[in-house]
Structure 1
Amino acid sequence: MRNSLRTALRAGAIALAGAMLALGSAAVPAQAAPAADPGPITPQVVGGTPAAQGEFPWIVRLSMGCGGAMYTPSLVLTAAHCVGATGNNTSITATWGVVDLQDPTRTTRTSNYVYRAPGYNGNGKDWALIRLSSPITAAPLLKIATDTSLHSGNFQVMGWGAATEGGGQQRYLLKAQVPFISDTQCQGAGGSYSGLIFNEEICAGNYTSGGVDTCQGDSGGPMVKRNASNEWIQIGIVSWGIGCARPQNPGVYTEVRYFATDIYNAAVSLGGAPGGVSVTGPGNQSTTVGNAVTLNSSASGGTSPYSWSASGLPAGTSINSSTGQITGTPSTAGTYTVTVTVNDSAGGTGTASFTWTVNPVGSCAAATNGTDVSIPDNNTTGVYSNITISGCTGNGSTTSKVEVHIVHTYKGDLIVDLVAPDGSVYNLHNRSGGSTDNIDTIYTVNLSSEVKNGTWRLRARDAASIDTGYINSWTLTL
């Protein structure tokens, strides 16, 4: 009986809610009934108090009579019972940016796809994502909880749902505070609550006196709380309850943190999740004024194409906005903290930072070549990556350093040598390491017999078949 009541009422049209309530204590799609502002929780009218313009800048109203929150610029997080099956859907209109639904400055988007939680059948798993036809790039995003650290105290709820049980939808956004209720106490309310699904559902409301609750028309909206950094975090999704604001009949919300990974992965499959771009930078660099450089970064996740930018670059260098490659000739010595930033087409962002030391000419402290060089399979001739030293005097030291970064599966295939300007060869790696991957090693080499000036070459050879890779970067410190 519990299952059928919850499913029927959650999925049913708003017009049916009043008729169902007339039949008795039915489980109503929990649609927001805000109450008091910050302060002690006391019995309030279900309607709560008006929200100020911009107070909840990620809140969204959906045309089927539900709420939602901006999870990415293109995705609205809402309740599964608010939508139909997973698939193409152009019938939903999302309204964002206003507390008054008739405000002419409102922003609207139609949907183009709906993703409903796999396995949803009216019991638990009450979450869904609605993809918009185009991003709302101006919309702040609402982060979702990933643990239970905020499961205490009071939560904030808001929505355009009924201000009284069985009432009509509201034109203006209302807000309320609802206190946390433990799963055990909530389940103890009996009836439909006896089947509360621990972990998947979380309860909130004035347990003893009622008066504060979400109500029909608020389904899918967020229940939030500020974290230690004063950021709003979504704790729940308005899901269901018996009536609205009745004593010992609290609101039940989807426990977002339990589904955080599933929501994230679904968002990636739909075109990107917030913070879903991973960036790998070129690593710390040491070069010399006047030496041309090419540094490469890479990005994964999110939605391509990517747009690249960088801050803190040395004078004379720049980054390609399409490829992320940094090129140029540093003209000013110094130590630079460079941050590479990637924005994907779905609004996701990722960053990577590295330290770049540009040495003055003649210091000969170190030089780096960060240009990738492919190592052909089973190639005994070898490939080279060069570093040219000029303007220096004297020879290298007895403890010169050669820092090598080679990406290659099965490094036991590799032979790596340093070739001095006069042709002398210093072996660094000779087919050791077996089946382990990659070389990320600093070698100490006695170069006291070698003059510093000239072209130094790192040679890499692949002495066996199947596995391949490339020289990623290397640094010579004389």
Structure 2
Amino acid sequence: MTCLTLTAAACGTSPTSAPEGVALGLDNAASPRIIRGTPSGTDQDSVVMIAIWHDGVRVGICTGSVIAPTLVLTARHCVSFEGPGNTLKGDRTPGDLDVRVGGGAATGLDDRATATAKGKRLFVPEADTVFNADLAVIEVDRAMTVEAAPLRLGADVAVGEELTLVGWGATDNGKLPTARMQRTGVKVQAVGTAASTSDFDVGADEFRIGEGTCFGDSGGPSLSSRTGAIVGIVSRGGNGIQDPNDVAAACVGPNVADVHTMVARFRPILDNAFKATGATPRPEPAAPDPPDEGCAVTGTPTSTGAAGHVALAALASAVVRRRLRRARPSRAR
């Protein structure tokens, strides 16, 4: 298979590595996009920024979702040290993960005292890879007052289902936005192993979309456009373009394939986190009746199979995670 690789900082194995010369700092220009997106309103404040620290240095950001007063759902690779390919080399210290709530979460990003909460404990799959297992729950050290997001726990996504993506990832110009962004109307292209292409493999517990997310959106939610429930978690993706001067080049265009983790397939981990913290998940609300369009047929989510994740398939290619790392202080940001 052809290896789908990007020059994003997420490729680096060093906790502070990033491509030379790539501007990864906050975007001070008015850029109303995640990737061709629009600003996210206060009704999406359950979508939070996660600042990742190591040895006193901020080494990256991810996106996450508040699913209970002290629980944040995100991607496994956001809370772990990455090895070669899609392997992992152990989990980070929970206290090195800062959760920042609200549309202004990017303000004072490097001042840890301004974080809303800090990690306390992690709930993760046993697998040592992000392939088909890129989901994690962070328990934080204090309750957050934002309303928890609902979860789809009883059904998979369906091909053709329409999603809304929300995150803190790089915009079209390759920089971080100063505000959270969303993109609506994104459709599920394929589900499970049928989503695999000649460029990369997709696991049984994952699904594929096209253009929509970029570096920094890792761990962010894919929401049902009809119910607002979290159905997936941003994992990895790209289009094969490597441009050291433009991070976003890897995230745009018709050849982009982004992989998301299906939340419903990881019910045991979620149940464990809720039980350990005495919390209760907010269920997916009933979908509103669709407009009358005569004999139009819409896709319907299928019921979930076995609750646990299946045996991991061999990963034949590297598809880059959507976490954004900042450069060392001596490099361009």
Q: TM-score, normalised by structure 2?
A: 0.61
- 111, 134, 139: which is aligned to 2:142? 134
Aligned to 2:189: 181
Does the CA contact (< 8 Å) of 2:163 and 2:188 recur in 1?
yes
Do residues 247 (structure 1) and 254 (structure 2) align? Answer: yes
Aligned to 1:57: 45
Q: How does 1:395-406 map to 2 (within 5 A)?
A: none
Aligned to 1:330: none
Does the CA contact (< 8 Å) of 2:3 and 2:199 recur in 1?
no
Does the CA contact (< 8 Å) of 2:168 and 2:217 recur in 1?
yes
Aligned to 1:102: 107
Measure the CA separation in 2 of the matches of 1:215 and 1:12: 19
Measure the CA separation in 2 of the matches of 1:81 and 1:20: 24
Q: How does 1:424-443 map to 2 (within 5 A)?
A: none
Aligned to 1:66: 62
Change (3 A) 1:158 1:222: same
Aligned AA for 1:258?
A: R
Do residues 90 (structure 1) and 98 (structure 2) align? Answer: no
Does the CA contact (< 8 Å) of 1:120 and 1:126 recur in 2?
no
Per-residue CA deviation, residues 96-135 of structure 1 (Å, 9 max, x unaligned), is 122552299x861111222332213131210111111111
Measure the CA separation in 2 of the matches of 1:113 and 1:235: 23
Cα RMSD of the aligned pairs, angstroms, is: 3.6
Per-residue CA deviation, residues 337-356 of structure 1 (Å, 9 max, x unaligned), is xxxxxxxxxxxxxxxxxxxx
Do residues 273 (structure 1) and 279 (structure 2) align? Answer: yes
Per-residue CA deviation, residues 318-374 of structure 1 (Å, 9 max, x unaligned), is xxxxxxxxxxxxxxxxxxxxxxxxxxxxxxxxxxxxxxxxxxxxxxxxxxxxxxxxx
- Determine which structure has more spread, i.e. the larger CA radius of gyration: 1
The CA deviation at 1:144 is: 1.8
Does the CA contact (< 8 Å) of 1:241 and 1:252 recur in 2?
yes
Aligned AA for 1:218?
A: D
Does the CA contact (< 8 Å) of 1:90 and 1:110 recur in 2?
yes
Change (3 A) 1:90 1:157: same
Change (3 A) 1:140 1:103: farther
Q: How does 1:155-166 map to 2 (within 5 A)?
A: 155-164=163-172
Higher relative contact order (CA 8 A, sep 6+): 2
Do residues 224 (structure 1) and 212 (structure 2) align? Answer: no
- In structure 1, the gaps of 5 or more residues are 22-34, 37-43, 206-211, 277-478
Change (3 A) 1:4 1:203: closer
Per-residue CA deviation, residues 33-68 of structure 1 (Å, 9 max, x unaligned), is xx99xxxxxxx982411122x131211100120000
Aligned to 1:257: 264
Per-residue CA deviation, residues 142-200 of structure 1 (Å, 9 max, x unaligned), is 122123365343200011111137x2222111111221111366323x212xx2112x1
Does the CA contact (< 8 Å) of 1:264 and 1:273 recur in 2?
no
Measure the CA separation in 1 of the matches of 2:4 and 2:50: 24
Measure the CA separation in 1 of the matches of 2:34 and 2:66: 28
Higher strand share: 1
Aligned to 2:212: 213
Change (3 A) 1:145 1:17: farther
Measure the CA separation in 2 of the matches of 1:3 and 1:124: 18
- 1:219 is paired with a residue of what secondary structure? coil
The CA deviation at 1:141 is: 0.9
Does the CA contact (< 8 Å) of 1:159 and 1:175 recur in 2?
yes
Identity across aligned pairs (percent)?
A: 23
Does the CA contact (< 8 Å) of 2:95 and 2:119 recur in 1?
yes
Q: TM-score, normalised by structure 1?
A: 0.44
Does the CA contact (< 8 Å) of 1:86 and 1:113 recur in 2?
no
Aligned to 1:327: none
Does the CA contact (< 8 Å) of 2:169 and 2:176 recur in 1?
yes
Does the CA contact (< 8 Å) of 1:58 and 1:142 recur in 2?
yes
Do residues 201 (structure 1) and 206 (structure 2) align? Answer: yes
Count of paired positions:
238
Per-residue CA deviation, residues 201-246 of structure 1 (Å, 9 max, x unaligned), is 11112xxxxxx3100111011110144xxx4210110100023133
Does the CA contact (< 8 Å) of 2:34 and 2:213 recur in 1?
no
Q: After superposing the two structures, state which structure 1 stretch, 70-79 or 156-165, moved more.
A: 156-165
Aligned to 1:301: none
The CA deviation at 1:273 is: 3.5
Change (3 A) 1:267 1:60: same
Does the CA contact (< 8 Å) of 1:87 and 1:113 recur in 2?
no
- In structure 2, the gaps of 5 or more residues are 23-30, 53-60, 81-89, 239-249, 283-333
Per-residue CA deviation, residues 67-89 of structure 1 (Å, 9 max, x unaligned), is 00011110101000001245752
